[in-house]
Amino acid sequence: MVLESAPPMPADSVLPPVVINTTNLTKIFGNRLIAVNGVNLQVRKGWSFGLLGPNGAGKTTLLKLLLGLQLPTAGRAELFGKPVGPNSADLRRRVGYLPTNPKLPPMMTPITYLDLIGQLHGMTAEERKPRLAALIRAVDLLPAAARPIKGFSTGMTTRLGIAASLMNDPDLLLWDEPTAGLDPAGRKYTLDLIRELARTKTVVVSSHILSDIDRVCDYLGILHEGKLIYCGSVRHLKQTIGRNVVEFELDGSERALDALSRKLQEMPEVAGFRREGGLLELRFVPTERIAAPLARILMAAADLDIDVTSISSTRGQTEDAFIRILEMDEADGFNRAYNTSPTMGNGMDSPTPS
Amino acid sequence: MGWTALLRADLLVLSRSWVLKGWIIVLILTGLVSVGGPLAAARSIPVPASGILATQLDAFLMIWSTVIIVLAAGSVSMETEIIADSILSRSCTRTQYIGAKLLSRMMVIEAVYLIYAATVAYVAWRYAANDMTLATITLGVGIVGLAVLLLSALGVAMSTLVNSTIFAVIGLLLLWYVASPIFTFAGADYLSPASLVRNLPRILKDANAPQIVEAAAEPTSIRVTFSKDVDAATAEQIANYTIEGSTDHRYTPQTAVYDKAKTAVVLGGLNLPPGERVTVTVRGVTDRAGNEISPAADMARTTVRADGNAPPTQAAGAPSPLGRRTTATAPRITQCTAVGGSLRVTFSAAMNRKDVEDPTHYIVECPPGTVRAAKFATWNADSHSVLLSGLDLPSGEQVKVTVRDVRDAAGTPVPKSGSWAVYSEVTPWKYLLGFGIPTLGACALAVLWFSRRDL
């Protein structure tokens, strides 16, 4: 499915290096479930990349394939230019993984667990002791530092998981649903932390919560039924794939409102509209610029002595674009069999993040 | 470094395991009862040490094996999500993880077993009627230890194969308890724990018959030194000794005093002429395990010294103190081996063909006490052996063959009492291979399978 042609890509020499690269990555569980379906994905150094999809879309499986925790049925996954497998300990040394609601050794304490993680990453005692102390303090677990993990709440476990993923000061963070099960304060803390970390690291965050991705990611991949159906910048998604719908609440006579409706039918920029009393839902043809037609509509309303009580636009809302992407994918029907690459969403239109 | 960290982490987990703690407590309590009871009874009735130790080792194979299975089979399957989330997503290979898991489980389970087995072995050795040697204890404890290692390795392997701990435990219980008859049926008895339980007493019991290694005669006494400690009661029976002079004159000792430290008996109250060459024959002397003195070395010749310093002696067929064997004058059976339903009996010398091919000259007992008749006896001159066929030998039983009234090629007959040998199918090295090779196989299976599975 290609909604519109992708803009020319800059030469590879000016792009940051590829950190994650998958080619036709496919995972089928026991000939029963297709979890990941021919995913071709590239994530470059410095990106904060959101992996978006409904529950069961294959986000967690994709991350586990990238870590070598699961073996691909077909295709391949590379990290930092090298293929990943179950024994790719050297590659995982550069990765910080946070699973959804992490399951951590219940008998260990934050200190002993982080110490073990440090040892697995080959850190010396001189390196890991101060590091674990700083991380425990940073995730606000100092009072529970010597308590067994089995008594921890979801929030505490997630915070410890965050500390574990940062223990080795990784180049790449793979965080799977980091805000799952957190209270509003914990969620805000985590999202702020992701934004902070994204300044210096490549971050991949999976989530089914659109607003979380919207807040912290510059780039986005949408997974649907195991297939990557969109990959590109968040800005592009909002601007070009949304429905361009504007809602008005109008105050005027029925005759004036009918007159306005007639004018709208004559406007080429208006793809369609629906009016119920004073409520008007207006859909523009897909375009990036709606300011001029919008101004003409407002002028027409003023000429007809119609006042505008409120005006709201779903244009630029990720949620709307996301739902539309899913609908378009499903509407594609059997043609999906021939779509081997995701919709390219102008992936390079933003400057490389700092 | 990562590997040792994982090993330490799993040892920490095990040290906090209630299954392990509970097992050790129950083991100590049941050990006190099951070992203390027979030892208390041993004050009035001699209880063989090998029996006490075998019972305790059997418990590891048949009862405690359930606990071992639970400890090992839950090692991976109980924490699949934990290891994916917290361990294997870090800088650690699958091989490191499963290697550490195998080693920690095997180390802990084996340590519990060895400490317990060594304690019981010492107590049985010290306080019961000792019929074992250090070698047989080491062998018996070692073989069962290998079976315990196999069970531990199979448990870890099973826990990598099956995601559910319950299924892993049930699967291994079935394999351990139900497979024994299958192994026996398939002729692979040495893979079977039940077979080991059956044969353990024979492995632990000292099967080496005592021999005469030296005899020294003075005018009033003869000192007969045995190859090992013998039962004082049988050694001090005067009737067990025959002393013949060069003119077939018989001398009868008045006393027989056994010196345990020197493993020698001094036959006193004799009146032997200096320079007389005497032959001492011993019958009926047994060691602590009940092994009767070997017919191959139950006779010694020596010359009576007038000055009280007896010259070196010749013990017929027995190893000399320098490790050399003197040639036995009478032919004897050196080996007996069961081959299918037949029995191969090897002689120390070329034999008179007519004598040895007469099946009536052989008494075959299987098990000892039950006589079975051979239909044919076929001599093989190259190997100095006779194949006794037409026997119906039950599998797994001890076979004793005695030959009488046969002569060697030079016409020298076997001793009047006959010559005998015992064949036992219990060959410990087969158990060592039977449990050792599958242990390596189970470890390899765990590593290979775990490296290829999804987490």
Question: pLDDT (tens digit, 9 = 90+) per residue, A28-77?
Answer: 988 888 899 889 999 999 999 999 888 888 999 999 999 999 999 999 99
Cα(A20)–Cα(A174) distance, rounded to whole angstroms?
Answer: 11
**Residue B436 contacts A, CB cutoff 8 Å:** no
The complex scores an ipTM of: 0.74
CATH number of B212-314: 2.60.40.1220
Distance from CA of B111 to the nearest CA of A (A): 23
Contact A107/B12, CB-based, under 8 Å?
yes
The identity of residue A238, as a single letter, is: K
**Residue B75 contacts A, CB cutoff 8 Å:** no
Helix, strand, or coil (residue B3): helix
Residue of B98, B168, B440, B76 whose CA lies nearest to A86: B98
Exposure of B330 in the CB half-sphere (CA atoms within 13 A): 22
For residue B114, CA distances in Å to A304, B130, B142, B425 come to 99, 20, 9, 26
Contact A113/B81, CB-based, under 8 Å?
no
Helix, strand, or coil (residue B40): helix
Cα(B272)–Cα(B220) distance, rounded to whole angstroms?
Answer: 6
Structure tokens at B393: 């030998």
- Which one of A67, A105, A122 has the shortest CB-CB distance to B86? A105
Q: Which residues of B touch A102 (CB under 8 A)?
A: 85-86
Region for B268 from its dihedrals, namely left if φ exceeds 0, alpha if ψ lies in -120 to 50, beta otherwise = beta
- Which one of A71, A99, A119 has the shortest CB-CB distance to B85? A99
Instruction: Give yes or no for a cis peptide into B367 (omega within 30° of 0).
Output: yes
Of B89, B160, B447, which to mutate for an interface test with A (greatest number of A Cβ within 10 Å)? B89
Q: Residue A314 has what pLDDT? A: 62
Contact B91/A122, CB-based, under 8 Å?
yes
Distance from CA of A87 to the nearest CA of B (A): 4
Please report where in the chains the tokens 């490389």 appear, as a residue: A352
Length of chain B: 455
Name B135's Cβ contacts closer than 8 Å, sequence gap at least 6: none
> How far is the first Cα of chain B from the last one, in angstroms, to the nearest whole number?
23
Q: Which residues of A touch B13 (CB under 8 A)?
A: 105, 107
Average pLDDT, chain A: 83
pLDDT score of A278 more than 60: yes
Helix H or strand E segment including A79: strand A74-79
B448: phi then psi, degrees, rounded to nearest 5:
-65, -45
Do domains B212-314 and B330-418 share one topology? The answer is: yes
Per-residue pLDDT tens for B27-66? 999 999 988 888 887 777 778 889 899 999 999 889 999 9
**Residue B373 contacts A, CB cutoff 8 Å:** no
Residue of B320, B322, B285 whose CA lies nearest to B301: B320
Residues 112 to 171 of A: which have CB under 8 A from any B CB?
112-113, 116-117, 119-122, 161, 164, 168
Sheet of B376-380, strand order = B333-339, B342-347, B385-389, B376-380
Of B81, B86, B96, B163, which to mutate for an interface test with A (greatest number of A Cβ within 10 Å)? B86
Contact B454/A71, CB-based, under 8 Å?
yes
| Domain at B330-418, CATH class | mainly beta
Contact B91/A69, CB-based, under 8 Å?
no
The full set of domain ranges for chain B reads 2-206+430-452, 212-314, 330-418
Mean pLDDT, residues A192-207 = 91
Q: Residue A292 has what pLDDT? A: 86
Q: In this structure, are residues A203 and A170 in contact, taking their beta carbons and an 8 Å threshold?
A: no
Q: Which residues of chain B have pLDDT under 70?
A: 1, 295-297, 307-329, 340, 368, 395-397, 417, 424-426
Contact B85/A116, CB-based, under 8 Å?
no
Q: Residue A2 has what pLDDT? A: 35
Cα(A86)–Cα(A305) distance, rounded to whole angstroms?
Answer: 70
